[in-house]
Amino acid sequence: MADLNNIPIFPGARLDLLRPSSPAVYHQKEVITEVPRCRQLVHVLQRECIISVAGEGVALGREGPLTLFLVGTFYGKVYAFDCLVNNELFDKGGLRLLLENTKVLKVAFSCCFLSAALYTQFAVRLRNVFDTQIAHLVIRELEGQKLPERLTLFDICQCYSGSGNNYGWRTDVKDMYLRRIGDYWSQRPLTCEMLEFAADDVMSFIPEVYRRQSEFLEEHRLLPKFKARVEEEILVEINQEVKNMRGERIEAIVMGVLRDLDKQYKDKTMNLEELSDDQLYALHLLQYDDASKITPRIDKLKTDYIMNEMKAIENDLYTDQVMIAGRNGLGDDLKTWERHPDENVKNKARMLRQAIYTLILKEIGRRYSGFSVPQVFTELEKQALRSVTPVSSSDLNFDPFVLGQHWILVEHDIDQALFNLRYGHPHIQISKDFSNRLKTYENLDVPENIQMKAKLLLSIQSSKGTTYA
| pLDDT for 243 beyond 60 | yes
pLDDT bin (cut points 50, 70, 90) of residue 371 is: low
Give the residue among 185, 116, 118, 128 at the shortest CA–CA distance from 13: 128
pLDDT of residue 30: 96
Indicate the pLDDT class of residue 327, thresholds 50, 70 and 90. Answer: confident
Tell how far CA 47 is from the center of its chain: 31
Average pLDDT of the chain, as a whole number: 87
Helices (H) and strands (E) in the chain, counts: 20, 6
Whether residue 5 has pLDDT greater than 90: no
164-178, 179-193, 259-273, 409-423: range with lowest mean pLDDT: 164-178
The helix/strand/coil state of 78 is: strand
Ramachandran bin of 282, using left for φ above 0, alpha for ψ from -120 to 50, beta for the remaining angles: alpha
User: In which band, very low, low, confident or very high, does the pLDDT at 442 lie, cut at 50, 70 and 90?
Assistant: confident
- What one-character DSSP code corresponds to residue 77? E
Pairing assessment for the beta strands 50-57 and 66-72 based on DSSP bridges:
antiparallel
Q: What is the pLDDT of residue 372?
A: 72
Is residue 208 within 8 Å of 107, Cβ to Cβ? no
Percent of the residues in the chain that have a pLDDT greater than 70, as a whole number: 88
In angstroms, the Cα distances linking 111 to 223, 348, 359 are 18, 36, 31
Which comes out higher in pLDDT, residue 337 or 367?
A: 337
H-only helix segments in 368-399 = 379-386
Predicted TM-score (pTM) of the model is: 0.87
